Structure 1
């Protein structure tokens, strides 16, 4: 929603965006000047139509972290579809129509129990990440040195140690 123009957009599209967002501008300005103005006023976060639809239905859309496909159950489903097709395409040279038919057949074979399994697997992975993150926080906390409470003897002994290492 409210797609921000790029430097490749038409000047008309840039002006239209500025008008729709109540941003004062001079339509006679160059595209480069209009683009600088757009960059100054563009929203930090993108708003997607699907998020609005979900919100209006009383829900919140949560985004997966980028490059974390193992947290997306659809990836497990697609892996199953590809495996199904690969196992049935033993010669490796099926006609396109047959491959399409196998793909639809594989998708249709995914049932409720399969989806529940995919979701449970992703939840187990996510839980392992949370547990690992908590253990890592505990380990890091053990290594934090509070310099505000260090006595002069602590400082001297640490400086003696550092000179021995050098």
Structure 2
């Protein structure tokens, strides 16, 4: 029923703007940071800042400077690596989920009986 009544595809203005500039918006599931390449880049940036913030003064200005330097050190190759890593992870997880769904659809059997045995076991009662 959902498929029959669901609108075909929601379009957002940002999608059209991105497309006009040669880009495509890719939406990932919320709360799945492992599927978001920028989280891996951000980890590199934070790691650089943490490794280099070892002497006083420990100030906001100093940290902002370290973060700017760290951002400038991120290369196209870094992005290629993390995008490929996330793409691989998404593909592996998708394929795993398909296998699990197939197992569930084909191999799980739930027997329903009118027994009042609350232990879930069938057969004779123990003495």
Do they superpose with TM above 0.5?
yes
Moved over 3 A (4+): 45-48, 55-60
Partner of 1:164: 123
Q: Is 1:118 equivalent to 2:77 in the alignment?
A: no
Q: Give the helix-richer structure, 1 or 2.
A: 1
* SS of aligned partner of 1:164: coil
* SS of aligned partner of 1:116: helix
Q: Is 1:77 equivalent to 2:36 in the alignment?
A: no
Q: Which of the numbers 43, 64, 69 marks the counterpart of 1:100? A: 64
Structure 1: gaps spanning 5 or more residues: 1-44, 146-157
Q: C-alpha deviations, 1:68-92, integer Å up to 9, x for none?
A: 1111110001000000000001146
The alignment yields a C-alpha RMSD, in angstroms, of: 3.2
Partner of 2:26: 62
Q: Distance in 2 between matches of 1:69 and 1:131?
A: 19
Structure 2: gaps spanning 5 or more residues: 1-8, 116-120
Which protein has greater RCO, CA pairs closer than 8 Å, 6+ apart? 2
Q: Distance in 1 between matches of 2:47 and 2:124?
A: 57
* SS of aligned partner of 1:66: coil
By how many angstroms is 1:93 displaced?
4.3
Work out which of the two has the higher radius of gyration on C-alpha atoms and give 1 or 2.
1
Q: Distance in 2 between matches of 1:120 and 1:165?
A: 57
* SS of aligned partner of 1:62: coil
By how many angstroms is 1:163 displaced?
5.2
TM-score by length of 1: 0.55
